[in-house]
Structure 1
Amino acid sequence: MRNTAKAATLESKFPLLTVEHDCILSKDADLSVAYRVDLPELFTVTSGEYEAMHASWLKAIKVLPNYSIVHRQDWFIEENYKPELDKEDMSFLSRSFERHFNERPFLNHTSYLFITKTTKDRARQQSNFNALTRGFMVPKEMQDKEAALKFLESADQFERIINDSGFIKLTRITTDEIVGTEKEAGIVEKYFSLSQQDTTCLQDITLGAGEMKIGDKYLCLHTLSDTEDLPGKVATDTRYERLSTDRSDCRLSFAAPIGVLLSCNHMVNQYLFIDDHSENLKKFEKQARNMHSLSRYSRSNQINKAWIEEYLNEAHSFGLTSIRSHCNVMAWAEDKEELKRIKNDVGSQLALMECKPRHNTVDTPTLFWAGIPGNAGDFPSEESYYTFIEQALCFFIGETNYKSSPSPFGIKMVDRVTGKPLHVDISDLPMKKGIITNRNKFVLGPSGSGKSFFMNHLVRQYWEQGTHVVLVDTGNSYQGLCEMIHNKTKGLDGIYFTYTEEKPISFNPFYTDDNQFDVEKKDSLKTLLLTLWKSDDDKITKTESGELGSAVNEYIQRLKADNTIRPCFNTFYEFMRDDYKDELENRKIRVEKNDFNIDNFLTTLKQYYQGGRYDFLLNSDQNIDLLSKRFIVFEIDQIKENKELFPVVTIIIMEAFINKLRRLKGIRKQLIVEEAWKALSSPNMAEYLQYMYKTVRKYFGEAIVVTQEVDDIISSSIVKEAIINNSDCKILLDQRKYMNKFDSIQALLGLTDKEKAQILSINMSNNPSRLYKEVWIGLGGMQSAVYATEVSMEEYLCYTTEETEKLEVMQLAKKLDGNIEMAIKQLAEKKRKPS
């Protein structure tokens, strides 16, 4: 008796027989292998690289046997960002960052590739004989073992060719990933629930007149299944006008409008049917002859004959392989009104590709069924069109959205397109992969580009992950962050050195927490004393260097022997004046004044001794040992022009960081010089930076120079080569002010045309509903991308360099007993409330 029930079970219609040895076998004996496809990130691929990817796909497809089907399936699912708030040691600012992005919607891209071996008869099958429409399955003769083995060998070759390209990575999907486990759904289960979540629930499938539903989701289908729907010309890539300028070119793949640029839940399926090429051409030859015979009855027959002739000429002249192809975009929504909007969006994006948007209401169930992983053999042949492999491959989506780094260390940035937070490692993982050979960074951005803001964001996260940060600043850019760290650690960290008339800058280089003075510490004290004594053009003799080294050594011995002596410059000066001078004069072997003039030394350094002009500089009573402090800021704006103070301060900065470098084993260290040209005016500092950039990598450290003008760096001949050549990580902000002279910047920094195009696209198409500035990060000339620096209101108030906003925070903190964190919290709440 015929079954008249309207409902059928999925089991009775299910086209797959088994999954074994990571292969899918259908009930019609079609054998399939499945891969996960990893693509390059959006806006990081050049035109030449798109062509290279296209060539790799072409080579790979040519190794497959006749009657194979290549099925690309790209999923784009709308998801909401889930904040990571369960970490125990999460800071106030990190927590506020995560909360700021809570439930932020973004489009998640997952790409699969299925290669299916079918038969000649199955390849000709039409929709009226689809597995969905048949009442029962008819067993057929299985393919012979030899053909199956040859197919699997060719699939392995296919995978190897694609992976060798260096742009795309194919990963074979295992049996458990296909069918699922008790805890996680497999790709087949995910397909039937229109989801990519690991936990899914199968829902009813409704097939109605002109309507298909899966659970509550209404499906809408656009197909490219006829040559009349296709554009007159296709290419591997196109120019993306929104991020291109008259001096730079931003490229996307030809199919990008229906990929990452289509912001709704959708799936793109593309099929390449590799039939018998010679048989196809014979069929077309016969068709052309028939058209010629009938040409007298209809002009359309004449035109069709001409088109077929041109197709055959192309195939024979250029050795092109004739195949059939099909592409469809399946989108869905839970609301019919929203479905209308999505239908229009898909149509407009197809029109951007110069395709004719054909909304297909009839074939949705059949094409959905053919899209089941491993069921491409059920595809209805009448929905495909004849073309060549080269043209068909132009509809492959060539890029994906931004991906987070798997590294445990890194900083939080934001996807410039979707606004999703990303974890980006620009130090450790690139070193392990050999992309960079050092962690040094060079940061360039004009005034107002968000340079200091980005650096605040970077150093805050580095500090929270255990880094020792030493900053040389001009302009109080890090005052808010430093005050907050100082307040949070109850004065144990966040040390801010600055100069004012009421409270001049003050250090004590002779003090250590543990009373330990190693060789580096003694050498740095000797260097400091020589700098105080000698001018830049004075020659330092070996005797002078040796005597001062001996004096420092004897003074340290005295400190260890007598606890009542306070380590500072005053007691050292008294030791030199009262003891060392007498010992020097009473030596058996006399030291002549022209070899070491101690009177000249004491006279020159008297201004730093008690009662002198600069007696405050080296006699701080705070007894701070900078070795144990993890966040230190030297604000040098007020003293950069002072020829007496500035060289001393630079030496103390050098000593502080070198001490950390040598003594802190296995701990990350970071030296940042803001507005470098001001600090580089000192020859000592320039030579120090040159030394630092070349050796810091050996001590798990990194040096960072931040500047507004490239000219500031190149004006120092000592530093120019050292800094730029030894900075494998280059960070640039908005360069539109320098658009007309960017060629010289490109030459100086050794940037490629691809990197130039990325940099000139910064802030060109920002989302007006979000407040952020973009930044370009390039690693070793091999990896580069533009990210957004978007932060919470709390972070903004902490990082801001606007004087009125800083004053507002500081004044409120004063009322709250110096609690800057509480002040930021209150102000942020106030500013978030609608006025």
Structure 2
Amino acid sequence: MLPNYSILHKQDIFITEKYEPNIRRDELSFLSRSFERHFNERPYLHHTCYLFLTKTTKERSRQQSNWNTLCRGFLVPKEIRDKETVERFMEAVGQFESIVNDSGLIRLERLTTEEITGTENEPGIIERYLTLSADGTTMLQDMQLNPDEMRIGDKRLCLHTLSDLDDLPGKVKTDERYERLSTDRSDCRLSYAAPVGVMLPCDHIYNQWIFIDDSNENLSRFEKAAKNMQSLSRYSRSNQINKEWLDEYLNEAHTNGLQSVRCHCNIIAWAENGDELRRVKNDVGSALALMECTPHHNTTDLPALYWAGIPGNEADFPAEETFYTFTGQALCFFTAETCYRNSLSPFGIRMVDRLTGKPVFLDISDLPMKKGVVTNRNKFILGPSGSGKSFFTNHLVRQYWEQGTHILLVDTGNSYKGLCDLIHQKTGGDDGIYFTYKENDPISFNPFFTEDYQYDIEKRDSIKTLILTLWKREDEPPRRSEEVALSNAVSLYIEKIKKNRKIKPNFNSFYDFVRKDYRKVLADKNVREKDFDVDGFLNVLEPYYKNGEYGYLLNSDKELDLLNKRFIVFELDVVKDNPILFPVVTIIIMETFINKMRRLQGIRKMILIEEA
């Protein structure tokens, strides 16, 4: 899209900052506040990325390092002052911006004049670049542009360049496998230049330049050069080899219709003392070696390249520092990663950056749904013993609960006792309900109780299913007449307790109702014993009545309506192998969650099953 003699300059600035926790918010819980405090002043790399598009001229694009704006009395070439040239360039830039933004992969935001030059209160990007600071709060400092060492205030700079084809590998690629985060079954792909980007753990600027000349003119010049090499090949074999390289470049360009461009990349890193600077130089050299490039440490060129990197001063770049390639290969040297960013969603959890440990706010429920990354919010947490599944889940459910979610946990191993106790104390006993089996305090429920006496179809069905489970064995399906009789019994019992609020709804009063009132109803209807055996029914369910073996199970005196409790834990370690208790507890759990799903519209709900 860009016209000839344009320069595309991508500048990635990585500067170490320290994390500042936001602990002054009143709504922060004890654990959230402790989490924030733990990471106070944690150092991390702050990344900002700029893309500068510059229009220059043919003559200006060929100038070398011995002639730049430091030596000139005027800045803007005569051709650029032409209004029509400026308008054509601005149109091309507008189309360029639209194409990039419409891709949906990355987003460009155009800088305002104030963001470039700064205001009285806020520094602009030029001032931040000249002080090498992320926010520009550093006072302006002296610059020392010596050939052996460049300094800005206390910062000593070092420069590594990719400006010579001899320093580059034979082949480049867009991305490659990052071994540390990959497995034998899954690849973690990072950009080819990632080692000198966010993976380089020091203050640095990574500049990537593409110079768009007249491609046809470049290729014509190479054609002439190839003929000259051919004629001189008898004097030196290297001329013949160079001629073959030029032929290969020209063949590639003409066969695939590629655009011939010039490219340059450099890393400007800095430190405040000699020992630290030596470590930084070694780190940058190692990062370049990971890209299979030969590290080239420059000293004399540093002031000129730093000067050309000032935002808007791209036309001052020295031409001798570039190499010829094609657009695709040049783009392989562009970094594509940034630091982990906070989700914009108001709902999420606090995690930390994988590289530096800086806290990150992450939405793993709503935003992925909105973007179409996932089609439901279900999660599966998988890992070997001791890998931190329960630790992470405690972290997750605690933050979900603090954001208003109703959470029902099915646990084995008391992993959530501490969290449940914390919530129980914090809410004054109104929330944080923990069900577990102990010899002196066995697990007990009251499936018949509701605070508002609302018994919808699900509630009636769950009561019916519960009684059927206690009455019949798994291999003994109930007859149709028995199902109807039981359904009628439940419905009539519910009608009775609705009319007479003095009757305490529980299994005991239901048992009494069937033994007395419902027996008369059956007699009036002439229901035969073979269709519904009342005495057999009462005999089988007698263990769950008053002083029976399981009399405690369905007659809890704690009038708990679990519908409005937001944190409920069912601890099943003891009961999971009990053929009587386990089915009952399972039905209670299902009834509780289904009740929440049906009646709590617009409220986030979560069921979590440990050791699924």
Instruction: Give, in angstroms, the shift of residue 71 of structure 1.
Output: 0.8
Q: Which amino acid aligns with 1:622?
A: K
Superposed, which structure 2 residues align to 1:375-386 within 5 Å? 375-386=313-324
- State the TM-score, normalized to the length of structure 1: 0.69
* Structure 1 pair 551–456 and aligned structure 2 pair: CA distance change class (3 A): same
Aligned match for 1:216, one of 138, 149, 154? 154
Give the Cα–Cα distance (whole angstroms) in 1 for the partners of residues 610 and 243 of structure 2.
71
Give the Cα–Cα distance (whole angstroms) in 2 for the partners of residues 354 and 565 of structure 1.
82
2:222 is aligned to: 284
Superposed, which structure 2 residues align to 1:115-264 within 5 Å? 115-135=53-73, 137=75, 140-181=78-119, 183-197=121-135, 201-264=139-202
1:361 to 2:299 alignment: yes
1:643 is aligned to: 579
1:657 to 2:590 alignment: no
1:345 to 2:294 alignment: no
Instruction: Give, in angstroms, the shift of residue 101 of structure 1.
Output: 1.5
1:93 to 2:24 alignment: no
Q: Which amino acid aligns with 1:266?
A: H
- For each residue in 1:407-454, what CA deviation from the matched residue of structure 2 results, as whole angstroms up to 9, or x when unmatched? 111111222222222111111122222332322222332322222222
| Matched residue count | 612
Which consecutive residues of structure 1, in runs of 5 or more, have no partner in the other structure? 1-62, 677-835
8 A contact 1:189–1:200 mirrored in 2: no
* Higher mean displacement: 65-74 or 151-160: 151-160
Which secondary structure state, in structure 1, belongs to the residue aligned with residue 47 of structure 2? strand
Give the Cα–Cα distance (whole angstroms) in 2 for the partners of residues 262 and 615 of structure 1.
67
8 A contact 2:175–2:189 mirrored in 1: yes
Give the Cα–Cα distance (whole angstroms) in 2 for the partners of residues 605 and 636 of structure 1.
23
Aligned match for 1:500, one of 438, 447, 461? 438
Give the Cα–Cα distance (whole angstroms) in 1 for the partners of residues 286 and 583 of structure 2.
64
Give the Cα–Cα distance (whole angstroms) in 2 for the partners of residues 483 and 138 of structure 1.
71
Aligned match for 2:533, one of 597, 600, 603? 597
Q: Which amino acid aligns with 1:329?
A: I
Aligned match for 2:17, one of 72, 79, 102? 79
Q: Which amino acid aligns with 1:336?
A: G
- For each residue in 1:570-625, what CA deviation from the matched residue of structure 2 results, as whole angstroms up to 9, or x when unmatched? 1221122122212321x2x3223333332222122111001211101011122222
Give the Cα–Cα distance (whole angstroms) in 2 for the partners of residues 518 and 185 of structure 1.
64
1:717 is aligned to: none
Give the Cα–Cα distance (whole angstroms) in 2 for the partners of residues 339 and 137 of structure 1.
35
Q: Which amino acid aligns with 2:107?
A: K
* Higher mean displacement: 92-101 or 160-169: 160-169
8 A contact 2:11–2:208 mirrored in 1: yes
Instruction: Give, in angstroms, the shift of residue 248 of structure 1.
Output: 4.5
* Structure 1 pair 118–664 and aligned structure 2 pair: CA distance change class (3 A): same
Instruction: Give, in angstroms, the shift of residue 201 of structure 1.
Output: 4.4
- For each residue in 1:51-98, what CA deviation from the matched residue of structure 2 results, as whole angstroms up to 9, or x when unmatched? xxxxxxxxxxxx322111111111112122222212212111112211
Instruction: Give, in angstroms, the shift of residue 243 of structure 1.
Output: 3.5
Give the Cα–Cα distance (whole angstroms) in 2 for the partners of residues 132 and 96 of structure 1.
53
2:383 is aligned to: 445
* Higher mean displacement: 373-382 or 226-235: 226-235
Q: Which amino acid aligns with 2:171?
A: K
Give the Cα–Cα distance (whole angstroms) in 2 for the partners of residues 115 and 180 of structure 1.
19
8 A contact 2:345–2:367 mirrored in 1: yes
Which consecutive residues of structure 2, in runs of 5 or more, have no partner in the other structure? none
* Structure 1 pair 296–223 and aligned structure 2 pair: CA distance change class (3 A): same
Give the Cα–Cα distance (whole angstroms) in 1 for the partners of residues 136 and 521 of structure 2.
81
Instruction: Give, in angstroms, the shift of residue 327 of structure 1.
Output: 0.8
- For each residue in 1:250-292, what CA deviation from the matched residue of structure 2 results, as whole angstroms up to 9, or x when unmatched? 3322111111221101011111111111211222233334444
Instruction: Give, in angstroms, the shift of residue 516 of structure 1.
Output: 4.0
Instruction: Give, in angstroms, the shift of residue 300 of structure 1.
Output: 4.3
8 A contact 1:132–1:366 mirrored in 2: no
- For each residue in 1:390-420, what CA deviation from the matched residue of structure 2 results, as whole angstroms up to 9, or x when unmatched? 2211111122232221111111122222222
Which secondary structure state, in structure 1, belongs to the residue aligned with residue 608 of structure 2? strand
1:674 to 2:610 alignment: yes
Aligned match for 2:273, one of 335, 341, 365? 335
Give the Cα–Cα distance (whole angstroms) in 2 for the partners of residues 520 and 310 of structure 1.
76
1:694 is aligned to: none
Give the Cα–Cα distance (whole angstroms) in 2 for the partners of residues 635 and 403 of structure 1.
37
8 A contact 1:101–1:421 mirrored in 2: yes
8 A contact 1:183–1:199 mirrored in 2: no
Superposed, which structure 2 residues align to 1:206-605 within 5 Å? 206-541=144-479, 543-585=481-523, 587=524, 589-605=525-541
Which secondary structure state, in structure 2, belongs to the residue aligned with residue 169 of structure 1? coil
Give the Cα–Cα distance (whole angstroms) in 2 for the partners of residues 567 and 247 of structure 1.
56
- For each residue in 1:130-168, what CA deviation from the matched residue of structure 2 results, as whole angstroms up to 9, or x when unmatched? 112335547634443433333233323333443444433
Instruction: Give, in angstroms, the shift of residue 648 of structure 1.
Output: 1.1
8 A contact 2:175–2:192 mirrored in 1: yes
- For each residue in 1:191-218, what CA deviation from the matched residue of structure 2 results, as whole angstroms up to 9, or x when unmatched? 2222232756443333234222223322
- For each residue in 1:692-723, what CA deviation from the matched residue of structure 2 results, as whole angstroms up to 9, or x when unmatched? xxxxxxxxxxxxxxxxxxxxxxxxxxxxxxxx
Give the Cα–Cα distance (whole angstroms) in 1 for the partners of residues 183 and 578 of structure 2.
45
Q: Which amino acid aligns with 1:600?
A: G
- For each residue in 1:638-663, what CA deviation from the matched residue of structure 2 results, as whole angstroms up to 9, or x when unmatched? 12222222111111111111222222
Give the Cα–Cα distance (whole angstroms) in 1 for the partners of residues 481 and 121 of structure 2.
76
8 A contact 1:69–1:377 mirrored in 2: yes
Q: Which amino acid aligns with 1:612?
A: G
Instruction: Quote the RMSD (CA, aligned, Å).
Output: 2.4
2:570 is aligned to: 634
1:49 is aligned to: none
* Structure 1 pair 437–289 and aligned structure 2 pair: CA distance change class (3 A): closer
* Higher mean displacement: 542-551 or 99-108: 542-551
The structure with the larger Rg is 2
Q: Which amino acid aligns with 1:365?
A: P
* Higher mean displacement: 138-147 or 467-476: 138-147
Which secondary structure state, in structure 1, belongs to the residue aligned with residue 78 of structure 2? coil
Instruction: Give, in angstroms, the shift of residue 670 of structure 1.
Output: 0.8
Q: Which amino acid aligns with 1:130?
A: N
Give the Cα–Cα distance (whole angstroms) in 1 for the partners of residues 80 and 563 of structure 2.
75
Give the Cα–Cα distance (whole angstroms) in 2 for the partners of residues 198 and 524 of structure 1.
65
1:69 to 2:13 alignment: no
* Structure 1 pair 84–506 and aligned structure 2 pair: CA distance change class (3 A): same
Instruction: Give, in angstroms, the shift of residue 296 of structure 1.
Output: 5.0
Give the Cα–Cα distance (whole angstroms) in 1 for the partners of residues 397 and 371 of structure 2.
23
Superposed, which structure 2 residues align to 1:19-98 within 5 Å? 63-98=1-36
Give the Cα–Cα distance (whole angstroms) in 1 for the partners of residues 542 and 607 of structure 2.
32
Which secondary structure state, in structure 1, belongs to the residue aligned with residue 537 of structure 2? helix
Which secondary structure state, in structure 1, belongs to the residue aligned with residue 463 of structure 2? helix
8 A contact 2:164–2:322 mirrored in 1: yes
Q: What fraction of aligned residue pairs are identical, expressed as a percent?
A: 66
* Structure 1 pair 567–114 and aligned structure 2 pair: CA distance change class (3 A): same
